[in-house]
Structure 1
Amino acid sequence: MNKKFVSLAILASTLLSSAAFAADVTLTIESWRNDDLKLWQEKIIPAFEASHDGIKIKFSPTAPAEYNAILNSKLDAGSAGDIITCRPFDASLALYDAGHLTDLSDMEAMSNFTDVAKSAWQTDDGSASFCVPMASVIHGFIYNKDAFKEVGVKVPTTEEEFFAVLEAFKADGNYIPMAMGTNDQWEAATMGYQNIGPTYWKGEEGRLALIKGDQKLTDPQWVAPYATLAKWAAYLGDGFEAQTYPDSQNLFTLGRAAIYPAGSWEISGFNTQADFEMGAFKPPVLKAGDTCYISDHTDIGIGMNAKTANPEAAKTFLSWVASPEFASIFGNALPGFFPLSKTPVEMADPLAKEFISWRSECEPTIRSTYQILSRGTPNLENDTWGASAAAIKGTSTPEELGKKLQEGLASWYAPQK
C-alpha cells in the first residue's frame, strides 16, 4: 500500500469520525425542577429525540434551594449546560445582564407567546427576550363538591355570593368554611391578596400603572383588597393565626374545610390526597357583569447559555419547547402548570381544565410585586406577605398597610417618590 493511499485513508477516517461526532450533539439542561426528572427522561426527551436525529438531551437538575448559587458558579466557571431553565423576572434578568443568556427575540417561535407571557423573561423595555416561556400557574379557589352539595350552596361568581357561601358553611358548622392560615405569611399574600387583588386594580392596567408611578399603594384599588381579606378571618376556623401552609392543605384534603384559596400547582398533590370530588372557581367579580381578572402567573421558562458550543442545536430544541407538541406533553404530565403558548392545549385533568378555561373568559395578569417593584429595600414582595397576614389578623387597618407599603416603595423606587 503506497504512502499516498495510506494518507488518504487516514484523512477519510478522520473526516468520518468528525462527521459522526458533529452529528451527535448532546445538550445539557440546567434546572431546579428535580421533581421533574422522570417526566423529562420518560416523556419529554424521548419525544424530542424521536424527531430530531443527531441531538441528544441530558436533563441535569439541582435542588431548588441551591439552584441559583450553583448555576451562577457554573456560568462564571464556564461549565454550565447549554440550556438554562429560567426563574421569572429579576433572577433571569440578572443572568442576561451579565451576558450569560442569549437574546432569543429573533426566534420565530417567540411569536407563539403573548406579551404577558414573555414579560417575565424580558428586559424592562421589552427589547430583548432571553427565555422561552414554558408554564404559568393560575390562582383561584378549589372547593369540595360534596360539601357544597350537602350544604346546598352554588359556586359563587360575585363577591356578595362568595361571602354568602362562607356564611352558609359557618352556619352549618360541619366544615371550616375556608382553609388558610397566616403563620407562614406568604400564602396570605399569594393565595389571598394576589388572588383577589387584580379584580380591584384591573389586572395589567393597575400593575403597569404602579410601575410607572401613575398609581400608588394608598389608592383605593390597592387598599380595598386588604379590607376584603380582613373579612376572611371570620371563616378561617379557630387558631388560623398559627396554622401553617401544610396544615391548610391537610384540612382541605381530609375533607374538613369546604374551600381552599389556591394556586393551580396544588392540583397534582390534591388529586392523590383527597378522596372527594373537587371543583374550582375563579376570583369573584365585585358585581355581576364586571370583567373578571385572573393571576396567570409566569413561573418557568428556558433559555440558552450564551457560551454554548452548540447554539444551532440549542435553538432547535428551544423552538420545539415553544411547539404545541411540547405544550401538550408538559401540560398534561404536570396538571396545574399551564403552557404559555398561544396554541390551546387540551387538558385531561378536569380540575386543570377548569382553571385553564378562565383564560378565555378573563383578563390575565401576573403578581403585582414580581416585576421591578421588589428589587430594592424594603422588598415589596416580602412586605406584602406581612401586610396580607396583618390584614387578616386585624392587627393593622387596610389604610395603615397601604401607607406603610407606599412609604417603603417610595423610599427607593424613583417613579413612586
Structure 2
Amino acid sequence: MTQRSLVGALLASTLLAGAAQAQDVTLTIESWRNDDLSIWQDQIIPAFEAEHPGIKVNFAPSAPAEYNAVLNSKLDAGSAGDLITCRPFDASLALYEGGKLADLSDIEGMANFSDVAKSGWSTDDGAATYCVPMASVIHGFIYNRDAFAELGLEEPTTVDEFFAVLDAIKEDGSYIPMAMGTNDQWEAATMGYQNIGPNYWKGEEGRQALIEGKASLTDPEWVEPYAQLAKWGDYLGDGFEAQTYPDSQNLFTLGRAAIYPAGSWEISGFNNLADFEMGAFPPPVPAEGDGCYISDHTDIGIGMNAATEHPDAAKTFLNWVASPEFATLYANALPGFFPLSDAAVEIEDPLAQEFASWRQECESTIRSTYQILSRGTPNLENETWNASAQVVKGAESPEDAAARLQEGLSGWYEPQQQ
C-alpha cells in the first residue's frame, strides 16, 4: 500500500469512527418516579433503543418529595439531564417561562393529543406546549379483598359506610384499617385531601370558582374534606406520624393494612409485591344519591431541557413517546397510568380497568392546587401538604387549616382579595 493509500485509509477509518461516535448519543431522563426504574430499564428503554440503535437512554430519578428542588438546582447548575419529566401545570410552566424547557409545539407527535390533554403542559393561552403528555392518574382506595372477605365487608359507597368499614376493621384488630402516614406530608394531601375533596367542591365547578375568586378555601365545601381527614388518624395505626410513603406501601403490600388511600400509579408496584387479590373503590360520596367526582389528574409529561447538547436525539425520543406504540406500552407496562393520546389503548390489568371505569360513572377533575393557584408565595400546593398532615395528626383543626390556607392565597392572588 502506498503512503497516500495508507493515509487515505487511516483518514477514512477515522471519519467512520467519528461518525459512529457521533451517533452514539446518551440521553438522560430526570424523573420523580423512582419506583418505576425497573420498568423503564427493562421494558420502555429497550423498546426505544431497539428502534433507534444510535441513541442510548439513561433513566435517573429522584425521590418524589425532593424532585422539584433537585431538578431546579440541576437546571440552574447546568447539570440536568436532556429530558425532563414534567409535573403538570404551574411547576412546569415556571420552568418553561424561565427558559429551562424548550417549546415542543412543532414536533410531529404533538398532533396525537387534544387541547385538553395538552392543557397541563401548555401556556395559559395555549400558544406553546412544552411537554409531551404521557398519562393521567386516578385517585381512590385500593383494598385487600381477602381481608374484606374474611371480615364480611363490602365496598363502601358513602362516607358513613366508609367509616363503618374502618370501625369494623379496627374492632377486629387483625389489620391496620388504613395505611397512610404524615411524615412526608404530600401523601396526606395527594391521597387524602385531593382524593376525597372533589366530592365536596364538585370537581371542576369548585376548582374554577376558587380560581375566579367566587369561592373561598374557608367555604364549607373546602373545609369539609379536612373534617373527614381529621377522623382518619384513628385508623392509621400506631406511629403513623413518623410513617413514610414507602412505609405505607409496605404495610399494605405485606398484608398488614386493609385499605390504602391511593393513586392509580401504585397498581404496577402493588401487583408485584402483594400476594393477595386487590380491589378498588372510588372516593365515597358524602350522602347516598350524591353525584361522584374523581381526581383524574393529568399527571405526567416529558419535555426537553432547553440546554441539552442533543436536541435532535431528544426530539426523536419525544416523538416516540407521542406515538401509539408508546401509549400502549406505557399503559400496560405501568397499569394505572392512563394514556392521554388519541390512540385507542386496551388496558389489560383488571385493577387498572376498575379505576378507568369510574370515568364512566363520575365526573373528572384535576387537583385543585395545580393550576394558577400555586404561582405565588406561599405556595398553595406545598401549604396544602402541610395543612393536610397537621389535620390528620390532630395538630390543627379543619377550620384553622382552611383559614391559614386562605390567608396565604389571598395574600398574593388578586381574585381572592375582593
**Normalised-by-shorter TM-score class:** 0.7 to 0.9
Which one-letter code corresponds to 1:261 in the other structure?
Answer: P
Which one-letter code corresponds to 2:113 in the other structure?
Answer: F
- Measure how far apart 1:41 and its partner are: 4.6
CA distance in 2, matches of 1:256, 1:195: 22
Work out whether residues 217 and 405 of structure 2, in 8 Å CA contact, stay in contact via their aligned partners in 1.
Answer: yes
Which one-letter code corresponds to 1:322 in the other structure?
Answer: A
- Measure how far apart 1:335 and its partner are: 3.0
Q: In structure 2, do the counterparts of structure 1 residues 113 and 304 end up closer, same or farther at CA, with 3 Å as the change threshold?
A: same
Determine the structure 1 residue equivalent to 2:400. Answer: 400
- Measure how far apart 1:409 and its partner are: 0.9
CA distance in 1, matches of 2:182, 2:81: 40
Residues 7-46 of structure 1 mapped to structure 2, 5 A cutoff: 24=23, 26=25, 28-32=27-31, 36=36, 38-46=38-46
Q: In structure 2, do the counterparts of structure 1 residues 368 and 309 end up closer, same or farther at CA, with 3 Å as the change threshold?
A: same
CA distance in 1, matches of 2:228, 2:80: 47
Q: In structure 2, do the counterparts of structure 1 residues 312 and 378 end up closer, same or farther at CA, with 3 Å as the change threshold?
A: closer
CA distance in 2, matches of 1:67, 1:222: 28
* 1:300 lines up with 2:289 in the alignment: no
CA distance in 2, matches of 1:163, 1:58: 47
Determine the structure 2 residue equivalent to 1:176. Answer: 176
Deviates more, 1:304-313 or 1:142-151: 304-313
Determine the structure 2 residue equivalent to 1:3. Answer: none
Q: Secondary structure at the match of 2:205?
A: helix
Work out whether residues 285 and 291 of structure 2, in 8 Å CA contact, stay in contact via their aligned partners in 1.
Answer: yes
Deviates more, 1:31-40 or 1:128-137: 31-40
TM-score normalised by structure 2 residue count: 0.83
Please list the CA deviations of residues 47-77 of structure 1 after superposition, one character each: whole Å capped at 9, or x if unmatched. Answer: 3354457x52433526458866776677668
Residues 338-377 of structure 1 mapped to structure 2, 5 A cutoff: 338-377=338-377
Q: Secondary structure at the match of 1:168?
A: helix
- Measure how far apart 1:189 and its partner are: 1.5
* 1:323 lines up with 2:333 in the alignment: no
Work out whether residues 30 and 80 of structure 2, in 8 Å CA contact, stay in contact via their aligned partners in 1.
Answer: no
Please list the CA deviations of residues 334-373 of structure 1 after superposition, one character each: whole Å capped at 9, or x if unmatched. Answer: 3333333243433333323322333343322222122332
Deviates more, 1:26-35 or 1:147-156: 26-35
- Measure how far apart 1:326 and its partner are: 0.5
Q: Secondary structure at the match of 2:381?
A: helix
Q: Secondary structure at the match of 1:335?
A: coil
CA distance in 2, matches of 1:69, 1:232: 30
Work out whether residues 218 and 402 of structure 2, in 8 Å CA contact, stay in contact via their aligned partners in 1.
Answer: yes
Residues 120-199 of structure 1 mapped to structure 2, 5 A cutoff: 120-199=120-199
Aligned-pair identity (%):
71
* 1:267 lines up with 2:264 in the alignment: no
Work out whether residues 27 and 81 of structure 1, in 8 Å CA contact, stay in contact via their aligned partners in 2.
Answer: no
Q: Secondary structure at the match of 2:142?
A: strand
Determine the structure 2 residue equivalent to 1:58. Answer: 57
Work out whether residues 139 and 262 of structure 2, in 8 Å CA contact, stay in contact via their aligned partners in 1.
Answer: yes
Which one-letter code corresponds to 2:301 in the other structure?
Answer: G
Determine the structure 2 residue equivalent to 1:281. Answer: 281
CA distance in 2, matches of 1:178, 1:77: 42
- Measure how far apart 1:23 and its partner are: 9.7
Please list the CA deviations of residues 119-162 of structure 1 after superposition, one character each: whole Å capped at 9, or x if unmatched. Answer: 33222333321000123332211111111112222112222322
Q: In structure 2, do the counterparts of structure 1 residues 403 and 323 end up closer, same or farther at CA, with 3 Å as the change threshold?
A: same
Which one-letter code corresponds to 1:218 in the other structure?
Answer: T
5+ residue gaps, structure 1, are 1-5
5+ residue gaps, structure 2, are none
How many residues are treated as equivalent by the alignment? 414
Which one-letter code corresponds to 1:96 in the other structure?
Answer: Y
Q: Secondary structure at the match of 1:303?
A: strand
Please list the CA deviations of residues 303-345 of structure 1 after superposition, one character each: whole Å capped at 9, or x if unmatched. Answer: 2344557655544432221122112222222333333324343
Q: Secondary structure at the match of 1:187?
A: helix
RMSD (CA atoms): 3.7
CA distance in 2, matches of 1:195, 1:73: 30
Please list the CA deviations of residues 59-111 of structure 1 after superposition, one character each: whole Å capped at 9, or x if unmatched. Answer: 35264588667766776687766543333334432332233333223445334
Q: Secondary structure at the match of 1:259?
A: strand
Q: In structure 2, do the counterparts of structure 1 residues 391 and 105 end up closer, same or farther at CA, with 3 Å as the change threshold?
A: same
Q: In structure 2, do the counterparts of structure 1 residues 166 and 309 end up closer, same or farther at CA, with 3 Å as the change threshold?
A: closer
Work out whether residues 25 and 310 of structure 1, in 8 Å CA contact, stay in contact via their aligned partners in 2.
Answer: no
TM-score normalised by structure 1 residue count: 0.83
Work out whether residues 192 and 229 of structure 1, in 8 Å CA contact, stay in contact via their aligned partners in 2.
Answer: yes
Which one-letter code corresponds to 2:209 in the other structure?
Answer: A
Determine the structure 2 residue equivalent to 1:110. Answer: 110
Deviates more, 1:132-141 or 1:42-51: 42-51
CA distance in 2, matches of 1:220, 1:35: 37
Please list the CA deviations of residues 226-273 of structure 1 after superposition, one character each: whole Å capped at 9, or x if unmatched. Answer: 112223344334554454444433433333322111122333333343
Which one-letter code corresponds to 1:109 in the other structure?
Answer: G
Please list the CA deviations of residues 143-198 of structure 1 after superposition, one character each: whole Å capped at 9, or x if unmatched. Answer: 11111112222112222322232233234343332233334433222211111001
Q: Secondary structure at the match of 1:103?
A: coil
CA distance in 2, matches of 1:283, 1:305: 37
* 1:257 lines up with 2:261 in the alignment: no
